[in-house]
């Protein structure tokens, strides 16, 4: 036991002396310093309105989303979007989603979202259409702050 304690004490002493030397070389920083090179924060977009419970003016049925369990609601929402957009091109899908309250970006892929805050919860509906994939990926997520 004495030997184990001595080995432990010597190991701790060796670690402490190497790290406490002010001239100890730690190597170059892996983070380059380029002051002023960070991109500006994104522009604050207009706040999105919560979609209605039930059918929206553009025809998407959001159902009873406020009381929905995301584990069952999300697959149902994806099935609805895949059926709705079957055989339609990206421009038609974008126009349809924007008519239903989604904000869309079309760069490498079409990415449309409704992101709102409902009480203490962030609620997100999304539809993504990738160039190589014929059917959209859609989903719903709710993330709440605090304990419930």
Q: Which of 29, 57, 40, 51 has the alpha carbon at shortest distance from 140?
A: 51
Question: CA-CA distance, 74 to 85, in Å (whole number)?
Answer: 16
List, for residues 17-76, the tens digit of each pLDDT value. 554 555 556 666 666 666 655 555 444 445 688 899 999 999 999 999 999 999 999 999
Total Cβ atoms within 10 A of residue 75: 13
Beta-strand pair 121-130/103-106: unpaired
- Is the overall model pTM greater than 0.75, yes or no? no
Report the alpha-carbon distance of residue 87 to residue 93 in Å, rounded: 10
């Amino acid at each position: 036991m004495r030997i184990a304690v001595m080995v432990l004490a010597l190991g701790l002493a060796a670690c402490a002396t190497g790290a406490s030397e002010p001239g100890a070389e730690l190597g170059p920083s892996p983070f380059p310093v380029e002051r002023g090179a960070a991109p500006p924060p994104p522009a604050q977009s207009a706040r999105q309105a919560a979609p209605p419970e039930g059918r929206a003016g553009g025809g998407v049925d959001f159902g009873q989303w406020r009381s929905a369990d995301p584990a069952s609601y999300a697959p149902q929402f994806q099935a609805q979007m895949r059926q709705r957009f079957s055989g339609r091109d990206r421009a038609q899908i974008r126009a349809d989603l924007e008519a239903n309250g989604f904000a869309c970006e079309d760069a490498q892929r079409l990415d449309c979202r409704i992101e709102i805050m409902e009480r203490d919860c962030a609620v997100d509906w999304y539809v993504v259409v990738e160039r190589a994939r014929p059917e959209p990926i859609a989903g719903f997520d709710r993330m709440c702050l605090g304990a419930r």
